[in-house]
Amino acid sequence: MHIPDGFLSTPVWIALDVLAVPAVGLAVRKTQREFDEGRIPLLGVMGAFVFAAQMINFPVGIGTSGHLVGGALLAFVLGWPAAAVVMTAILAIQALVFQDGGILALGANVTNMAIVGVLVGYLPFHLWSGGGATARSIAIFAGGFASVLVSAVLALVQLILSGVPMPAPVAGISVGFFAVSALLEGAITLAVVQALETINPNFIRKAGRPKGGAAAIVLAMAVFLAAVGVIFASSQPDGLEKLAMNVGISQRATNLFATPLADYEAAFLQSAWLRKAAAGLAGLALVYAACLAFGRFSARKRSA
């Protein structure tokens, strides 16, 4: 799902970088005005959980994998403005620290997943969640499904606009894989929301700090995924990587600089598991700290 540098033409990535800046700025301002101060710890907790979950790829077809993107989940818990800010922080850290997604293409990835993906994911929940338990469950599933499918199709369109040759059969197969990933996103998102509300009925979009240790449980799950879940993650390429292989542009991927945690591995460690676990835990800590710092800065600014 993350577009690396080298895939998009210069006009496309510049246009998306320019578009992403005011969009994120609007989300920041709305979060600073509207987000309940008692829920500030959730910014770090949910950011850490989604970052860790994105590290766990699962098979979605022959030779292809997917992972939870989490934009809709963040929107359900935090509201769309705060979710967009948290997802932007995740994408920025992934690009800068782990070379997952390009630096120049960061605007494209933010637009696809943090802006459009979050908004599209939140829309069914906003419109239908008040219609009873069944309608609410459908809305949550639909939000997760739509968030991933729309983000993936946007990435596909951006590649086409960049002049990437896209035979119809290849595009059709890729959309099919994206749809499978979107179905799994919807199912996982619904399961996570139901689990969170079982632990604490006030966890999803309610005022005040969640009680009952729900936030601590989510953080513990994030640590488990980053430290242990990576062992079981699929090594198959995700849908976008598979598409790049099929259309012959994989070799175009470039990195502007090297980092010691590239590809989510601490290369200086000997054990394969330790390399992955150390990188995952480092990323989790960075995302948690960045999101929590933003929340506390926003609270101080609003108080001033």
Looking at the DSSP assignment, which residues form a beta bridge with residue 5? 254
CATH topology for the 10-303 domain: Arp2/3 complex 21 kDa subunit ARPC3 (1.10.1760)
User: CA dihedral in degrees (35, 37, 42, 47; nearest 10)?
Assistant: 60
pLDDT of residue 199: 84
pLDDT of residue 80: 95
Contacts of 81 by beta carbon, 8 Å cutoff, 6+ apart: 26, 27, 28, 30, 31, 34, 35
**At 271, which amino acid appears?**
S
Q: In tens digits, what is the pLDDT along the chain, a chain of 304 residues?
A: 799 999 999 999 999 999 999 999 999 999 999 888 888 889 999 999 999 999 999 998 788 999 999 999 999 999 999 999 999 999 999 999 999 999 999 999 999 999 999 999 999 998 887 778 899 999 999 999 999 999 999 999 999 999 999 999 999 999 999 999 999 999 999 999 999 888 887 777 654 555 557 888 999 999 999 999 988 899 999 989 999 999 999 999 999 999 999 999 998 999 999 999 999 999 999 999 999 999 999 888 777 6
Contacts of 24 by beta carbon, 8 Å cutoff, 6+ apart: 84, 85, 88, 110, 114, 115
Handedness of CA 293, 294, 298, 304 (dihedral sign): positive
CA distances from 15 to 4, 88, 105, 106, 147 (A): 16, 17, 10, 11, 22
pLDDT of residue 206: 56
Three-state DSSP class for 58?
A: strand
Looking at the DSSP assignment, which residues form a beta bridge with residue 108? none
Tokens describing residue 126:
């906003």
Confirm whether pTM is higher than 0.85. yes
